[in-house]
Amino acid sequence: MESPIIHRRDFRLRYYEMDAYAEATPVTILNLLEETAFSHCEESGWDVYRLVSEGYGWILLRGGIEMRRYPSYREAFSIESWCSGTKNFYGTREYRILSPSGELLGFARSLWLFFSLERRRPVPVLPDIVEAWRPGGPPAGDLELGAVEGPGPESVEASRSFEVRLSDIDTNGHVNNVNYLAWAIESMPPEARRQAKLTRLRGQFKHEVEYGSTVRPAFRAEADRCLHGAYATRPGETEPYLAAAAESVWTPRPAPESAAAAESRGPSERGRTGETSFGQSRAEEVRPDPRRARQGAGGLRRGFPAPSDRSLALPSREAYIRPGGQP
């Protein structure tokens, strides 16, 4: 069997791609995975514009990601991607997220459906695409691409909603893949997101969402995971439907180091731990000084409580659900 063609993109985390902790947001990582896949298609001669001109497209059916560490502000990292297999209407894509030193920051897997834009139904993957990608190689990790069931409509947050904008629509004429998962993640209670970070996510596309629809997030905490959903209502209708579902695992953030403790270690020791100010850079990894992460760049982390000692055996219904069952 031939080795797959592995496509690589290099990135450096920019200010608008990070969160209040000076790390990449989950949505940033998902967008960069999609960008890497797009450029792989472009390099192979089958970019989205050629596909559309010939009446074809790809739909993301299921996907998952596991992050061991999120890149910090200005940190360099790369994403490798390859097609591990194709069968009939389907293609499986793998991703690895790496530091310059080769540290595995995370990995992702995705299952795609090849379809006809005119007929709006699946068609076999074109032989020319299979030949260009040379599918093969192992999965990027142990994430399964099985079905994902979201929370029921009783978990919908009636007070929160998103209206689908034109900027949410992609080249296939429907909501971009990443937006579905972004809406689902948005259902996580804010207090939980401040105390924990997303480490594992699996999602599934259920139904297409049109421009002008209203989307409401849904959330339910279980013993070992969170269930998320994005329920959409079409313009002029009142009955919501499940557009996307996801399940996630979150782990507690380490307690932030006090400024006094950081200062007591001295510049040389701080340098060994990889700390640097936002305005500096290194040949390898760039991590912000914890004092800057709390105080710099417009007040990062200002007013955020330190993580509690309570285990976030995430998720804990008692920790994240207020009386009455609402997050």
- Per-domain residue ranges for the chain? 1-146, 147-255+307-327, 259-305
For the beta carbon of residue 266, count every other beta carbon within 10 angstroms. 9
Indicate the burial class of 268 (C-beta count within 10 angstroms; 0-12, 13-18, 19 or more): exposed
**47-56: long-range contacts, CB 8 A cutoff, minimum separation 24:** 48/171, 49/171, 52/117, 52/171, 52/172, 55/116, 55/117, 55/118, 56/114, 56/115, 56/116, 56/117, 56/123, 56/126
> Which 3 state secondary structure label does DSSP give 89?
coil
Whether residue 252 is preceded by a cis peptide bond, meaning omega within 30 degrees of 0, is no
Q: Provide the pLDDT for residue 159.
A: 67
| Separation CA 309–CA 46 (nearest Å) | 51
> Which 3 state secondary structure label does DSSP give 298?
helix
Indicate the burial class of 252 (C-beta count within 10 angstroms; 0-12, 13-18, 19 or more): middle
Provide CB contacts within 8 A for 305, sequence distance 6+: 194, 195
For the beta carbon of residue 41, count every other beta carbon within 10 angstroms. 23
pTM of the model: 0.77
Q: Provide the pLDDT for residue 286.
A: 35
Q: Provide the pLDDT for residue 27.
A: 95
| Separation CA 266–CA 274 (nearest Å) | 13
Fold designation for 1-146: Thiol Ester Dehydrase; Chain A (3.10.129)
Per-residue pLDDT of the chain (327 residues; tens, 9 = 90+): 567 789 999 999 999 999 999 999 999 999 999 999 999 999 999 998 999 999 999 999 999 999 999 999 999 999 999 999 999 999 999 999 999 999 999 999 999 999 998 998 999 999 999 999 999 999 999 999 999 998 998 898 766 888 999 998 887 677 888 888 888 888 888 888 889 999 999 999 999 898 999 999 999 999 899 999 999 999 999 999 999 999 999 999 887 665 566 566 554 444 444 333 222 333 333 334 443 333 333 333 333 333 333 333 333 433 333 333 333
Provide CB contacts within 8 A for 206, sequence distance 6+: 150, 241, 242, 243, 244, 245
| Separation CA 61–CA 63 (nearest Å) | 7
Q: Provide the pLDDT for residue 132.
A: 92
- On the CB side of 3, CA atoms within 13 Å amount to 4
What architecture is domain 147-255+307-327?
A: Roll (3.10)
Identical topology for domains 1-146 and 147-255+307-327 = yes
> Which 3 state secondary structure label does DSSP give 88?
coil
